[in-house]
């Protein structure tokens, strides 16, 4: 698989700060991969994302050492217009990037800025609003939309540029369970139908663990763990240190292990938990009968 994002020995220190926000970070994300980035507040997750898309150091000034490339383009030297053809970011609060008075104009805005022909703009708007489930709401004010719809609109405005990578900063942090399901379905659709590489920054990991290819855990500006969710949660996570909770079924399994109950593995989904706990109960019944 081609490397969508390649980071080598990245150090970032903001102006006026003594400590580095990122410390010798090296990372590769493959084309079409869905990666979840997590860790405690202030650990460097947002700095990493801003550096990948060039906001750091181009807009937010900082001392930067190391390299960041997006499909072979140097993020520090490539123009924002060119880079936006490959990568887009959706901020934690979608209202930060919703700047126009209608849904239609919101999606049109980045396309007009890059000089796309009017007919192509109209075609792309129709396409992405249908994809994100906002077709028919073209004349609505973004302010009148629900939290999930605002998030979908922010994604649509990025998707209209047809990037190969989308970074989502806390995409479910302000959503209720229904909104979370809607955005989860949309993310999976982008990955499956459009082969988009996705880097999602999240504290709430349970919605994603059954869908992601890999999970990266940061702390103090460094990558501390990475691997498949089943690998990450195979051992008890220090919630206070890393700032996120494992899936509930994993936490139940940790409690059972503390009580001396032997489990074949740690479940991360309800389906896994049903099979593992059923087997344990059946083995327990068999032991009782034999005794």
**Structural domain containing residue 183:** 3-239
User: Are residues 82 and 219 both part of a single domain?
Assistant: yes
Q: Is residue 244 part of a domain?
A: no
Sign of CA dihedral 268, 273, 277, 279: negative
Helix boundaries (H) for 28-101 = 45-52, 55-58, 80-83
The number of folded domains in the chain is 2
CB-side neighbour CA atoms (13 Å) of 80 = 12
Name the 3-class secondary structure at 285. helix
User: Are residues 217 and 267 both part of a single domain?
Assistant: no
Longest Cα–Cα distance of the chain, Å, equals 79
Q: Please name which of 39, 23, 81 lies closest in space to residue 218, comparing C-alpha atoms.
A: 39
Q: How confident is the model at residue 291 (pLDDT cuts 50, 70, 90)?
A: very low
User: Are residues 102 and 235 both part of a single domain?
Assistant: yes
DSSP string, 189-214: HHHHHH--EEEEE-S--TTTTTT-SE
Give me the mean pLDDT over the 16-24 stretch. Answer: 95
User: Are residues 225 and 272 both part of a single domain?
Assistant: no
Mean pLDDT of the chain: 91
User: Are residues 146 and 278 both part of a single domain?
Assistant: no
- Among the residue ranges 9-18, 34-43, 59-68, 281-290, the one predicted with the least confidence is 281-290
User: Are residues 130 and 187 both part of a single domain?
Assistant: yes
Q: How confident is the model at residue 97 (pLDDT cuts 50, 70, 90)?
A: confident
User: Are residues 37 and 143 both part of a single domain?
Assistant: yes
Give me the mean pLDDT over the 18-26 stretch. Answer: 97
Q: What is the CATH number of the domain that holds 38?
A: 3.40.50.300
User: Are residues 208 and 267 both part of a single domain?
Assistant: no
Sign of CA dihedral 45, 56, 23, 28: positive
User: Are residues 273 and 156 both part of a single domain?
Assistant: no
Q: Is residue 25 part of a domain?
A: yes
How far is residue 230's CA from residue 115's CA, in Å, rounded to a whole number?
46
Point out the domain boundary residue: 239, 267, 282: 239
Q: Is residue 209 part of a domain?
A: yes
User: Are residues 49 and 184 both part of a single domain?
Assistant: yes
Q: Is residue 247 part of a domain?
A: no
List own/partner pairs for 61-65 with CB under 8 A and 24 or more apart: 61/14, 61/15, 62/12, 62/13, 62/14, 62/15, 62/21, 63/11, 63/12, 63/13, 63/14, 63/15, 64/10, 64/11, 64/12, 65/9, 65/10, 65/11, 65/12
Q: Is residue 246 part of a domain?
A: no
Q: Is residue 133 part of a domain?
A: yes
Please, which residues have CB within 8 angstroms of residue 111's CB and are 6 or more apart in sequence? 120, 121, 124, 125, 160, 161
Please, are residues 22 and 10 in contact by the beta-carbon 8 Å criterion?
yes
User: Tell me, what's the pLDDT at 288?
Assistant: 43
Q: Is residue 117 part of a domain?
A: yes
Query: 57: cis peptide before it, omega within 30°?
Result: yes
How far is residue 135's CA from residue 152's CA, in Å, rounded to a whole number?
11
User: Are residues 137 and 235 both part of a single domain?
Assistant: yes
User: Tell me, what's the pLDDT at 176?
Assistant: 86
Q: Is residue 212 part of a domain?
A: yes
What pTM did the predictor assign?
0.90
User: Are residues 178 and 281 both part of a single domain?
Assistant: no
């Amino acid at each position: 698989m081609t490397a969508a994002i390649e980071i080598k020995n990245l150090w970032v220190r903001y102006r006026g700060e003594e400590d580095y926000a990122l410390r010798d970070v090296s990372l590769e994300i493959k084309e079409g991969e869905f990666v979840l980035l997590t860790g405690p507040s202030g650990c460097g997750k947002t700095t990493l994302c801003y550096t990948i898309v060039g906001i750091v150091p181009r807009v937010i000034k900082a001392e930067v050492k190391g390299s960041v490339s997006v499909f072979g383009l140097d993020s520090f030297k490539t123009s924002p217009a060119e880079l936006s053809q490959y990568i887009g970011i959706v901020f934690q609060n979608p209202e930060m990037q919703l700047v126009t008075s209608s849904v239609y104009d919101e999606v049109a805005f980045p396309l007009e800025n890059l000089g796309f022909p009017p007919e192509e703009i109209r075609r792309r708007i129709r396409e992405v609003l249908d994809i994100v489930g906002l077709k028919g709401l073209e004349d609505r004010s973004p302010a009148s939309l629900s939290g999930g719809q605002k998030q979908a609109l922010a994604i649509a405005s990025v998707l209209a540029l047809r990037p190969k990578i989308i970074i989502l900063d806390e995409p479910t942090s302000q959503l209720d369970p229904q909104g979370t399901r809607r955005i989860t379905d949309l993310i999976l659709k982008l990955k499956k139908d459009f082969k988009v590489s996705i880097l999602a920054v999240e504290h709430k990991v349970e919605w994603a663990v059954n869908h992601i290819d890999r999970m990266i855990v940061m702390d103090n500006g460094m990558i501390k763990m990475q691997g498949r969710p089943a690998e990450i949660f195979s051992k008890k996570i220090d919630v206070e240190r890393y700032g996120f909770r494992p899936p509930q079924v994993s936490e139940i399994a940790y409690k059972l292990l503390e009580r001396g109950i032997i489990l074949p593995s740690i479940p991360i989904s309800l389906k896994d938990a049903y099979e593992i706990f059923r087997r344990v109960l059946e083995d327990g019944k068999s032991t009782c009968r034999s005794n």
